[in-house]
Structure 1
C-alpha cells in the first residue's frame, strides 16, 4: 500500500470543492498530461480495461498507464470480478444473476459490472453480510 505522509487535498471539479484527505486513506496517484492527480480509494467506483487501455471511473473518468494487475496490487479493497474489471467492494449494492452462468454486480450508482462465473463463489464470500 502506498500512503502519503504530507497533507493531500482532493478536488471535485463539479462542485469546485477542495478538502483534506486523511492520512489513513489509501491514495492512488495518476499522472495525466504532466499533472499528478491524487485519488482516494473511496473516490473510485471501478476500474475497467478496454482494448488494453485502463480507465479509472469515479465522479470523473481518468486514463491510466498502469495495468489492471498493477492497480489490483495497489488497491486491496478492490476485487477482480472479471478479466476487464476491478470493482470497489464498498460500492457494491447487489449481486445479480442474469441467467444460467451469467452474473453481475450493481454498484450504488446503478452501474452494472459483469462477474466471471469462476469468481461468483469467492465474491459471495467476500460480500457475506454486507449486501
Structure 2
C-alpha cells in the first residue's frame, strides 16, 4: 500500500504540479483525491491543517467530480476551509485510476470577482420585496431554505448561506453553520447555562454561536 501511495505521489508531481504553476493564481491551494481519500494537498495561502489520507466528504467538489467525471465549480463552505472560497474541480486520471483535481483560489482573488450585495430580494406571502442589505438583522438556513429577517419579518431567498457569505458586507459575520448575523443588530454576547455561546439581538432574538465560528465573532468585535 505504501509503495502504491508513494508511486501515486510521484506521478502526481510529474504530471500536474509543474503544469499547474503555469496557469493558476499564485497562492492557490491544490487538492487531489482518488475515490475515498485525498492523496495530495498544497495549502497555498489558506491557513489550514490538512492531512493526506483524509476521506472525501460527500457533496464536496472532489466527490462530485469523482461521481460525474465532469468539471465542477462551487463556493466551498467550511468543510475544508474556515471561510468560504471559490473552488474548481477537474476530472483526471492517475495510473488509470479516476481522480479529482481541486483548485481553490486565494480569498483575495475571489473577493475581487464578487461585488458585495447592496440589497436582497426576498419573498413574503406572495410578494417579492427588495430590502437594503443594512436593514437585515440576520440570515438563517432552515430546512434547506434560506431566510432573512427585517424587524421580525421573515423573507425567503433562493441564495444559499455560503453564497451569501462571499458577497455580504464585512459587518455580516458567520456565527454558525445555519446563521449569519449583522453585527449592528447585536445587543450582547454571553454564555448560557451549558457554557454555549449565545448572541442576543436588539429585538430579543437569541442565536447560537458554534465553536468553529467563535473566532470569527471574537476577531470582528475584538473581545
**Corresponding residue for residue 70 of structure 1:** 163
For 1:1-131, list aligned pairs within 5 A. 1-2=115-116, 26-30=118-122, 36-59=128-151, 60-76=153-169, 77-99=171-193, 101-128=195-222
Give the aligned partner of residue 9 of structure 1: none
Q: Report the structure, 1 or 2, having the larger helix content.
A: 2
**Residues 23-52 of structure 1, C-alpha deviation per residue, up to 9 Å, x if partnerless?**
xxx222336688642111221111111111
TM-score by length of 2: 0.43
Residue pair 1:96, 1:104 contacting (<8 A) in 2 also: yes
Gap runs ≥5 in structure 2:
1-114
- Kindly state the Cα deviation for residue 73 of structure 1 after the two structures are TM-superposed: 1.8
Structure 1 gaps, min length 5: 4-25
Q: Which has more radius of gyration?
A: 2
- CA-based RMSD: 2.3
- Paired with 1:34 and 1:112, the residues of 2 have a C-alpha distance of 28
Q: State the distance in 2 between where 1:80 and 1:50 align.
A: 15
Task: Report the CA distance between 1:58 and its aligned residue.
Answer: 1.1
> Is the Cα contact below 8 Å between 2:147 and 2:157 reproduced in 1?
yes
Q: What is the TM-score normalised by the length of structure 1?
A: 0.70
Greater RCO (CA < 8 Å, at least 6 residues apart)? 1
